Amino acid sequence: MITVEHLTRTYGSHTAVDDVSFTARPGRVTGFLGPNGAGKSTTMRVLVGLTPATSGTATVHGVRFRDLPNPGREVGVLLDASAQHAGRTGREVLTIAQRTLGLPADRVDAMLERVSLTRTEADRRVRNYSLGMRQRLGIAVALIGEPASLVLDEPANGLDPAGIRWMRDLLREYADGGGTVLLSSHLLHEIEVVADDIVVIGGGRIVASGTKAELLAGSGTVVRTRDLAALGAALAAAGVEAHPLDGGYRVDADAEQVGRVALAAGVALSELRAADGAGLEEMFLELTAETQREGVAA
Amino acid sequence: MSTTTPTPVPTSTSAPGAHDAPSAARPAYPPIPFARVVSVELRKMFDTRSGLWLLASIGFLSLLATAAVIAFAPDSELTYETFASAVGIPMSVVLPVIAILSVTSEWSQRTGLATFTFVPQRGRVISAKLVCAVAVGVVSIAVAAAVGALGNLVGSAIAGVDATWDVSVTELGLIVLANVLGLLVGFMLGVLLRSSPAAIVAYFVYGFVLAGLTALLAASQPWFADLQPWVDFNFSQTSLYDGVPSAEQWAQLGTSGLLWLVLPLAVGLRMVVRSEVK
């Protein structure tokens, strides 16, 4: 269980994290979604005590991270897979973790096997690792203490498709075994396929949170037509909000209501359906549009 | 192995119920003992190629300095003091660098992210590093002193003269102290600056440029000449090489050390504890 309450972190006049509150529960994967620079990493760094909070609290199992007697046994953390001494071997990086946490020496080999790093790879220095191998090593370091919670910042970065699938299965199994997983990503698809709960952050603020089903349900209806102008006018007249898509709209109303509006306006539809996963993407883009560098480029 | 089910919930013999609700019944893990932090930090000083070579260089440079004395020093100069001074020079350069890197690598190599996540009490990590740096320093000086002693025996035998042992145990102890103080200045700069190149440059500016400047100032300004031993740490340390310091010289070491070592180290520690680790 990870609880973040009214967390704020400012840098001078810039507020990187602004009154953020959310909970990651045991047995569930909580996806922390937001564009780059939205405050995901800052929130996670505050959570594990690497960055002091300006105000608010973050606790793991009800305890502040820095007050945990042996934090590595309770929370597995991977914030940046590249943050390893380039001159150490992968095995040595794991050995340092194993010794610091006071674990039996055979955990090192067990973890290497767990993340599918071969003996030869483990004995190479980290500077020769690909980003994907660094991510695997970072996951091994996070898992070595058999913690009940995991905090992972963009763990899928640099992994190949098979690696991403492997990571996804690992996190799923972990949560199904009763663990708490907090996972950040700027890629909606990554979060969508693995998360049970989603927390969306933009510009340092939580802009949406809930179960994946709830967020998907809120994404409305997709409607397409050749006569965009007429449909748009009809929807506006009916007082429902319509967001342009290519060749249509995403409408904050159910399919039946949109159908009635179109029928009354005499507009022929080429498509009418409840918004699916793509709806969440539109929501994500929309919710974070103001803070995203590209604006509403999509 | 990736097909087996992981064990995310801590396996605790004392709290079997923890399997069902990890958040409700948290097993009590013992805190990490300080001795374990020290042993891990010591390991981290040796487990990279650069760390290993830096330590090995102490041995090589001592041998080189000893060989140079045997090859070039006139027979009358073949005394233990000559050998001790010769092996002391590389020590005074390499030891502070070792101390600096033991601290700054956490930032420049970004390992601090993991280190301070495993041990969030950063003061404990820095203290452990201090213990390791001093221990490595003392052992290195002992090794160098032994190499120098061996050189004295060999050199005297080659020259056909009796080996001269003109450095007392007390004097040797004072030399160890002087080298440890130099190492501590390096350590302080590492903590204060948290950047390998900045701290190394600062150490050499402090040790060589600043020492020259204060000597110049003292030569031209009588008021500073009186003040210098009390405020110039480089200068007050020279008394450690000239026999046993007087009570006044110890006091001067104390005041200048407070100014150049204790105060900046305290400021640096405060900054380390409060700073953000990225």
CATH number of residue A255's parent domain = 3.30.70
SS (H, E, C) B64-105: HHHHHHHHHCCHHHCEHHHHHHHHHHHHHHHHHHHHHHHHHH
| Judgement on whether residues A186 and A236 belong to the same structural domain of the protein | no
| Judgement on whether residues A195 and A264 belong to the same structural domain of the protein | no
Residues of A in contact with B43 (CB under 8 A): 95-96, 99
Query: Could you tell me if A104 lies within 8 Å of chain B, comparing CB atoms?
Result: no
Provide the 10 A C-beta neighbour count for residue B221: 12
- Residues A174 and A142: their CA atoms lie apart, in Å, by 12
Residues of A in contact with B276 (CB under 8 A): 45, 50-52
**Best of A96, A141, A152 to disrupt the B interface by mutation (most B CBs within 10 Å)?**
A96
**A291 — pLDDT class (breaks 50, 70, 90):** low
| Judgement on whether residues A159 and A269 belong to the same structural domain of the protein | no
Q: How many angstroms away from the CA of B258 is the closest CA of chain A?
A: 30
B54-82 burial, b if ≥16 CB within 10 A, otherwise e?
bbebbeebbbebbeebbeebeeeebbbeb
| Judgement on whether residues A68 and A117 belong to the same structural domain of the protein | yes
Q: Do residue A82 and residue B110 have CB atoms under 8 angstroms apart?
A: yes
Q: Do residue A177 and residue B9 have CB atoms under 8 angstroms apart?
A: yes
- Rg (alpha carbons) of chain A, rounded to whole number: 22
In chain B, alpha helices (H): 34-46, 49-72, 80-108, 112-118, 122-159, 169-193, 196-204, 211-220, 222-231, 233-237, 247-257, 263-274
Which position has the higher pLDDT, A223 or A181?
Answer: A181
Provide the 10 A C-beta neighbour count for residue A146: 20
Number of compact structural domains in chain A: 2
DSSP structural state of residue A246: T
Q: Is residue A186 in some structural domain? A: yes
| Judgement on whether residues A155 and A238 belong to the same structural domain of the protein | no
| Judgement on whether residues A269 and A190 belong to the same structural domain of the protein | no
**B112 — pLDDT class (breaks 50, 70, 90):** very high
Q: Is residue A257 in some structural domain? A: yes
Residues of A in contact with B109 (CB under 8 A): 83-87
| Judgement on whether residues A9 and A146 belong to the same structural domain of the protein | yes
Q: Is residue A294 in some structural domain? A: no
CB within 8 Å of chain B, chain A residues 226-255: none
- Which among B21, B117, B274 has the least Cβ separation from residue A26? B21
Q: Do residue B10 and residue A173 have CB atoms under 8 angstroms apart?
A: no
Q: Do residue A71 and residue B51 have CB atoms under 8 angstroms apart?
A: no
Alpha carbon of B155 to those of B76, B90, B149, B162, B166: distances in Å? 11, 20, 10, 10, 15
| Judgement on whether residues A141 and A185 belong to the same structural domain of the protein | yes
- Measured between CA atoms, the residue of chain A closest to residue B51 is A87
Q: How many angstroms away from the CA of A164 is the closest CA of chain B?
A: 13
Q: Is residue A288 in some structural domain? A: no
| Judgement on whether residues A157 and A189 belong to the same structural domain of the protein | yes
Task: Name the pTM for this structure.
Answer: 0.84
- Residues B1 and A221: their CA atoms lie apart, in Å, by 44
- Residues B188 and A74: their CA atoms lie apart, in Å, by 33
- Measured between CA atoms, the residue of chain A closest to residue B121 is A66
pLDDT over 50 at B186, yes or no: yes
Residue bearing tokens 């000559």: B82
Q: Phi/psi class of residue B18: alpha, beta or left (left: φ > 0; alpha: ψ in -120 to 50)?
A: alpha
**Best of B7, B108, B117 to disrupt the A interface by mutation (most A CBs within 10 Å)?**
B117
The pLDDT of residue B256: 94
Q: Is residue A295 in some structural domain? A: no
Q: How many angstroms away from the CA of A231 is the closest CA of chain B?
A: 51
Q: Is residue A67 in some structural domain? A: yes
Name residue A208's amino acid: A
**Best of A28, A50, A181 to disrupt the B interface by mutation (most B CBs within 10 Å)?**
A50
The pLDDT of residue B262: 96
Question: Residues B219-225: what's their mean pLDDT?
Answer: 90
Provide the ipTM. 0.83
| Judgement on whether residues A245 and A152 belong to the same structural domain of the protein | no
Q: How many angstroms away from the CA of A6 is the closest CA of chain B?
A: 20
Q: Is residue A155 in some structural domain? A: yes
Residues of B in contact with A77 (CB under 8 A): 117
Asked whether A66 and B125 are in contact (CB, 8 A), the reply is: no
CB neighbour class for A276 (10 Å; exposed up to 12, middle 13-18, buried from 19):
exposed
Asked whether B5 and A50 are in contact (CB, 8 A), the reply is: no
Residues of B in contact with A63 (CB under 8 A): 26
Q: Do residue B1 and residue A114 have CB atoms under 8 angstroms apart?
A: yes
Query: Could you tell me if B270 lies within 8 Å of chain A, comparing CB atoms?
Result: no
CATH of the domain at A33: 3.40.50.300
Residues of B in contact with A82 (CB under 8 A): 110
Kindly provide the residue ranges of all beta strands, DSSP E only, lying in chain A, ordered along the sequence: 2-11, 14-24, 29-33, 55-60, 63-64, 75-78, 149-153, 180-185, 197-202, 205-211, 221-225, 242-245, 248-251, 269-274
State what percent of residues in chain A have pLDDT above 70: 92
Domain hosting residue A235, numbered range = 220-274
Name residue B274's amino acid: R
- Which among A51, A84, A177 has the least Cβ separation from residue B111? A84
Query: Which tens digit of pLDDT belongs to each residue from A62-77?
Result: 999 999 999 999 999 9
CB neighbour class for A105 (10 Å; exposed up to 12, middle 13-18, buried from 19):
exposed
**A289 — pLDDT class (breaks 50, 70, 90):** low
Q: Is residue A121 in some structural domain? A: yes
Which of A239, A230, A241 lies closest to A263 in space, CA to CA? A230
CB neighbour class for B152 (10 Å; exposed up to 12, middle 13-18, buried from 19):
buried
- Which among A26, A50, A96 has the least Cβ separation from residue B117? A50
* Residues paired with A185 in a beta bridge: A33
- Residues B88 and B65: their CA atoms lie apart, in Å, by 9
Q: How many angstroms away from the CA of B41 is the closest CA of chain A?
A: 9
Which of B29, B4, B2, B34 lies closest to B14 in space, CA to CA? B29
Number of helices (H) and strands (E) in chain A: give both, helices first.
11, 14
Encoded tokens for A177 = 């075994």
Question: Residues B240-247: what's their mean pLDDT?
Answer: 86
Alpha carbon of A196 to those of A22, A173, B230, B251: distances in Å? 14, 13, 66, 67
CA torsion through residues A35, A38, A42, A44, sign: negative
Q: How many angstroms away from the CA of B157 is the closest CA of chain A?
A: 43
Q: In the β-sheet with A149-153, what is the strand arrangement from edge to edge?
A: A75-78, A149-153, A180-185, A29-33, A197-202, A205-211
Average of per-residue pLDDT values in chain A:
89
Query: Which tens digit of pLDDT belongs to each residue from A124-135?
Result: 999 999 999 999
Provide the 10 A C-beta neighbour count for residue B35: 10
CB within 8 Å of chain A, chain B residues 149-178: none
The pLDDT of residue A95: 97
pLDDT over 90 at B30, yes or no: yes
| Judgement on whether residues A25 and A156 belong to the same structural domain of the protein | yes
| Judgement on whether residues A18 and A122 belong to the same structural domain of the protein | yes
**B13 — pLDDT class (breaks 50, 70, 90):** very low
- Measured between CA atoms, the residue of chain A closest to residue B9 is A148
